[in-house]
Copies of this chain bind each other. A is one copy, B any other.
Amino acid sequence: MNVMDRIEAALETALARGESPSGPPLLMQAMRHAVFPGGQRIRPRLCLSVAMACGDDMPQAADSAAAAIELLHCASLVHDDLPTFDNADTRRGKPTIHKAFNEPLAVLSGDALIVMAFQALAKGVTGAPDRLGRLVEIYSEAVGSPNGICAGQAWESESTIDLVEYQRAKTGALFAAATEAGAAAAGYDNAQWRVLGEALGEGYQIADDLRDIAADPEKLGKPVGQDAANGRPNAVAELGVDGAVDRLKRLITAAVDSVPECPGREPLRAAILEETGKFLPKNLARQAA
């Protein structure tokens, strides 16, 4: 099975656990709406790519780790889209949960998706209990306080924003967790893999900021200029377009250089280069060439 099929199958397994004739139908529909069809699945692909580079000796553990990080990401999107945050009408080209269902179900489906991520780990990482503990720790740190994605979003409620902590928590935390979890799921020391995830996370955030001002709204699936409209910090505002493109390129080099020793090091480095080549919106890639 290829990487994308493994991810979709693992997500389907996780979602199916949350469904039963005895459950409230709209909540179950809302959770499915939030997860399928997906976007690029970039975090679980990164997680699985690292697990495969590390030998992938327990594919079910790696698949569960990949599903869990995507569930956490989807949960964060559902809550970020709420009226009290972005008040977004569309996401991935579809109505957001609070628009397609209602606001209570948006809060609840986000909550239930967070919980489902940890359930996926407990159900899928069996026979390797030390790995389960590490994975729960990695993901709880990546999502919660003081440095996870919730903390990242919470910086927007502060009168003074620590821009470095904000970006690192808001996007970097989940990317760092993706690489660490891929390694942990395959029985490798996760700490060594953090630099790779952090570099890719910062690169992705910069690319997102560039897309936010430059991309085609149809392709991105959400309204452009949202950061500017919400007065949020943004790498392009800080560094200018050329400065941001330059920083992105240096981060990609740092990411490729950081890959630790492992059986599949060279294919992984090649894959990172290919993947990150797609980060830049086409019009900016031409401009930067």
Residues of A within 8 A of B (CB): 18-20, 22-28, 31, 75, 79, 82, 84-85, 101-105, 107-112, 114-116, 118-119, 121-123, 125-126, 129-130, 132-133, 136-137, 139-141, 143-148, 150-151, 153-158, 162, 165
In the assembled complex, which residues on chain B have CB atoms less than 8 Å from the CB atom of A22? 146-147, 162, 165
A89 to chain B, nearest CB (A): 17
Contact A104 B148, CB 8 Å, known A110-B111, A111-B143, A133-B129: no
Residue of B nearest to A135 (CB): B122
Chain B residues with Cβ below 8 Å from A144 are: 18, 111-112, 115-116, 119
Establish whether residues B27 and A115, one from each chain, have CB atoms under 8 Å apart when the complex forms. Answer: no
For the complex with contacts A85-B104, A111-B150, 10 further pairs of A-B residues with Cβ separation under 8 Å are A22-B146, A27-B151, A82-B107, A112-B151, A114-B114, A114-B115, A116-B145, A119-B144, A125-B133, A129-B130
* Contact assessment for B157 and A136 in the assembled complex, using a CB-CB cutoff below 8 Å: no
Please tell me if the beta carbons of B150 and A108 are within 8 angstroms of each other in the complex. yes
Residues of B within 8 A of A148 (CB): 112, 115
- Least distance between A246 CB and chain B CB atoms (Å): 27
Chain B residues near A141 (CB-CB < 8 A): 119
In the complex, what distance in Å separates the CA atom of A31 from the CA atom of B157?
14
A162 neighbours in B (Cβ, 8 Å): 22
Chain B residues contacting A25 (CB-CB under 8 Å) are 158
Most buried by B among A26, A104, A145: A145
